[in-house]
Amino acid sequence: MEEFLEKFKESKTTIDVKQTSPLALAYVGDAVYEVYIRKVLIENPDLSVDKLHKRAVKYVRAKAQADIVLALEPELTEEEWVIVKKGRNQKSKTVPKNSDIGDYRYATGFEALIGFLFCQERHERLMEVMKRAVEIILEEEK
């Protein structure tokens, strides 16, 4: 993931994050976080694709992301928490099928944070947050 981030940085893609909607940041954040989770999971070569998918769902479903962002709150900067709240407060045209609206909104806030850090090229902080996300899920599994 770090190598991908370095190559992405070299592409000089500029995004004005302050002018980007929280839902657009969440859209990017969803993709970045899912790729990160998939990379983490394939480090265990003994899992079938079906098992990889089932494990990935534990990390990327709305309830898990809501739990992550609430657990992360004390560790986030004021600026990061503002991004979470902006993402959380956005009205989405989609309605969650398998989660409640509160979890869905906090998940959107989490994804907005990931998208924000990615687009701001704060790659070190992005990796810290995503690694903590995995730790939080693993702690909850115990």
Catalytic residue list contains 30: yes
Of 16, 30, 67, 100, which one is the catalytic site residue?
30
16 versus 102: which is more confidently predicted? Answer: 102
Q: What is the pLDDT of residues 111-142, one digit of tens each?
A: 999 999 999 999 999 999 999 999 999 988 77
Q: What is the pLDDT of residues 58-79, one digit of tens each?
A: 899 999 999 999 999 999 999 9
Q: Mean pLDDT across the chain, nearest whole number?
A: 88
Pair of tokens at residue 125: 């902080």
pTM of the model: 0.86
Inter-residue long-range contacts of 116-123, CB under 8 Å, 24+ positions, other chains counted: 116/17, 116/25, 116/29, 116/80, 116/83, 117/80, 118/28, 118/29, 118/32, 119/15, 119/17, 119/20, 119/25, 119/28, 120/17, 121/9, 123/2, 123/5, 123/6, 123/9
* CB 21, CB 29: distance < 8 Å: no
Domains belonging to the chain, first-starting first, are 22-141 (1.10.1520.10)
